Amino acid sequence: MNLKPGEIEQTSLQIIHEELEAGGIRLPEENAGVILRCIHASADFDYAETLRFTPGAVPLAINALRRGVAVVTDTNMAKAGISRPALRKLGGEVFCYMAEDEVAREAKARGVTRAAVSMEHAAGEHPRAVFAIGNAPTALFTLAEAIERGLRPALIIAVPVGFVHVEESKTRILAACGEAEVPCIAAMGRKGGSSIAAAVCNCLLYAAAGMEDPAARGWG
Quick: pLDDT tens for 51-82: 999 999 999 999 999 999 999 999 999 999 99
Reduce the DSSP state of residue 124 to 3 states and report it.
helix
CB 195 within 8 A of CB 81: yes
Q: What is the pLDDT of residues 176-198, one digit of tens each?
A: 999 999 999 999 999 999 999 99
d(CA 20, CA 181): 31
Provide the whole-model pTM. Answer: 0.95
Q: Is residue 32 part of a domain?
A: no
The reply to whether 40 falls in a domain is no
Is residue 15 included in any domain, yes or no?
no
Pairing of strands 51-53, 184-187: antiparallel
Residue 94 lies in a domain: yes
In this prediction, residue 40 carries a pLDDT of 95
pLDDT value of position 2: 66
SS (H, E, C) 67-108: CCCCEEECCHHHHHHCCHHHHHHHCCCEECCCCCHHHHHHHH
**pLDDT (tens digit per residue) in 158-168:** 999 999 999 99
> pLDDT tens-digit profile of 16-58?
989 998 999 999 999 999 999 999 999 999 999 999 999 999 9
Reported as a pLDDT band with limits 50, 70 and 90, residue 216 is: confident
> What is the reported pLDDT for 219?
65
Q: Is 9 part of a structural domain of the chain?
A: no
Q: In whole angstroms, give the CA distance from residue 83 to residue 80.
A: 8
- Could you tell me if residue 24 is inside a domain? no
Q: What is the pLDDT of residue 220?
A: 54
User: Is residue 165 flagged as an active site residue?
Assistant: no
The range of the structural domain enclosing residue 145 comes to 46-215
Number of domains composing the chain: 1
d(CA 63, CA 174): 21
Give the residue, 216 or 151, on which the prediction is more confident.
151
Residue 19 lies in a domain: no
Q: Which of 17, 40, 121, 165 is catalytic?
A: 40
CATH assignment of the domain containing 172: 3.40.50.10230
**What does each C-alpha distance from 62 to 146, 149, 155, 209 come to in angstroms?**
23, 25, 10, 9
